[in-house]
Amino acid sequence: MKSGELFAGVGGLGMAVDAVFGSTPAWFAEFDEAPSKVLEHHYPDVPNYGDVTLVDFTAAPHTEIRSGGFPCTDVSLAGRRAGLSEGTRSGLWSEFRRSIAEDRPEWVVIENVRGLLTARGEAPHQAWADADADVARWERVIALIEHRITKRKGDRDYVARKKQERLRCTRQRERAVARRQREDRLIPRAIATVLRDLADLGFDAEWTLLRASDVGAPHKRERVFILAWPAENTSRSRSGGWPAG
């Protein structure tokens, strides 16, 4: 069996996948220079196609296994949390999806950070944007009131009136925040988008969350792993479970 790894980095996920499936790498797709040098050193005879957005997967050698950890930049709790929207680095999931559609592997292994469970899978809708704008507006008003209170702190009557005004504005801000939170819950999460896209391509999938400490590392480092396969193989896949390594 042959494997192809997208967003390969130094090939760590691909090594694990090959160990489990008994496969060998047919190609990589890694854009950054430093990890590409590592791949070249360890796999001098395996081509690296570089920028995944430029790869024609209908022309690349077919692989039975497709793996990769698409960029976590915009889904990580440590990042901007912009999600999978078009134009984000994490939005390069669309290229992973394209590779599956064009090559139709038998197995797909996807890895990403825990934030995939909570980050947005789509761009915010208009009602969310309106609520967010309201939050920002009330925050500006409150900041202005606080500035005026500080500037005229010696005028007790004025300060008392402004504090009441600030209280009313704070309540309005709280309502806007609650409305934004309600609207945010209506936006599909990133993992839901990934699983939906796989289903649209005719793939069934299972996912799990694993910690580095589960395999002996002295830290938590939680990661989401998704295993997908063509839906027509579902009964065979479920009876056999995860492939034995």
Which residues 6+ apart lie within 8 Å of 106 measured at CB? 64, 65, 229, 230, 233
What's the N-to-C CA distance of the chain in angstroms?
A: 13
Answer yes or no: are the C-beta atoms of 179 and 131 closer than 8 Å. Answer: yes
Integer Cα distance of 124 and 146 in angstroms: 31
Answer yes or no: are the C-beta atoms of 63 and 3 closer than 8 Å. Answer: yes
Please tell me whether residue 111 adopts helix, strand or coil conformation.
strand
Structure tokens, 111: 């890895």
Q: Is 169 a catalytic residue?
A: no
Length of the chain: 245
Q: How large is the angle between the packed helices 93-103 and 190-200, nearest 10 degrees?
A: 20
State the residue for tokens 């796989």: 198
Please count the CA atoms within 13 angstroms of the CA of 156 that sit on its side-chain side: 0
Q: Which of the following is catalytic: 55, 72, 194, 198?
A: 72
Q: Catalytic positions, please? A: 72
